[in-house]
Amino acid sequence: MILSSVVIILGEVLEFTILTSIFLALSFHLKIPRRWIIYGVTFGCLGATSYALSFDMVSQWFEGFGQEVINATIQTSIYICLLLFCSIIFINRKNTVAVKYLKWLMIASVSLALTREGSEIFLYLSGVLASEQFVMPVLTGSALGAGIGLSFGILIYYIFINTPSRKSLLVGYALFIFISAGMLSQGVRLLIQIDWLPAQKVVWDTSSWLDESSVVGRLSYTILGYEATPTLIEIQFYITAIAGVIIATALSSYYANKTTSGN
């Protein structure tokens, strides 16, 4: 009982802690005050609580597919936030206006991630508390899971902090490309589940090589969007997502340079 609650809570908090720790470290390197995190967490907690409390109603939207539609919308929104964040991160130093946008994009990404993952934790814990069985082991396990997730985030944060700024920005940028593509593929998978996007045959199966349920598999899923058995449409969206971020970055640098040289 303890172990399974460690696993479930860790799985839920990992995405949020990784995202947040990279954002906080990049804020340090970009000299952006890190107060935005207070807003991100506050909005996220409010979002998670209201989503969980209205979950019954939301689930019934779209002929019983409300949960998938809302979650896919959240994942796509995080993708768009990360795309915009990545596209202006390098022009930031030349353009002070970008700092304001970066701050709001970080708040939006963090609060959206917390809304989705926090609501699941809320539903899980409310179920356990209502059944009045195994309450203590579940709470202990959950605290352990959250602790491990948080420690992992702190570890990432300090690795980034102790890396030179330029290198940190590049590594953060590269990680965000994969994290954002993973977010979009998660959304696509939810739409396949409700038959809004076509269900297709699996293109390859790497589960014998790296099992998605293993620790490394879960981490790769969160950071790289790893999927052992993807279908063609998931691969198409994954590649399009990566290309989207790179093109957006190229376009924004091009226009930023043009404006600077124009002045």
**Which residues bind to another protein, rule: CB under 8 A?**
1, 4, 7-8, 55-56, 59, 64-65, 67-68, 120, 123-124, 126-128, 130-131, 189, 192-195, 197-202, 207, 211-213, 227-229, 232-233, 236, 240
| Residue among 201 and 258 whose Cβ is closer to another protein | 201
Helix (H, G, I), strand (E, B) or coil at 138: helix
> In the complex, what is the shortest distance from the CB of residue 214 to another protein, in angstroms, rounded to a whole number?
10
> In the complex, what is the shortest distance from the CB of residue 136 to another protein, in angstroms, rounded to a whole number?
16
Task: State how far the Cα of 49 lies from the Cα of 36, in Å rounded to an integer.
Answer: 20
| Residue among 158 and 211 whose Cβ is closer to another protein | 211
> In the complex, what is the shortest distance from the CB of residue 30 to another protein, in angstroms, rounded to a whole number?
31
> In the complex, what is the shortest distance from the CB of residue 89 to another protein, in angstroms, rounded to a whole number?
24
| Residue among 42 and 133 whose Cβ is closer to another protein | 133
Task: State how far the Cα of 5 lies from the Cα of 140, in Å rounded to an integer.
Answer: 8
Stretch (H or E) spanning 18: helix 2-30
> In the complex, what is the shortest distance from the CB of residue 175 to another protein, in angstroms, rounded to a whole number?
23
| Residue among 40 and 230 whose Cβ is closer to another protein | 230
Our CA angle for 73, 188, 177, nearest 5°, is: 85
Question: What's at 179, amino acid-wise?
Answer: I
DSSP string, 100-111: HHHHHHHHHHHH
| Residue among 52 and 81 whose Cβ is closer to another protein | 52
Task: State how far the Cα of 225 lies from the Cα of 207, in Å rounded to an integer.
Answer: 14
Length reported for the chain: 263
Neighbouring residues of 226: CB distance < 8 A, sequence distance ≥ 6: 182, 210, 212, 217, 220
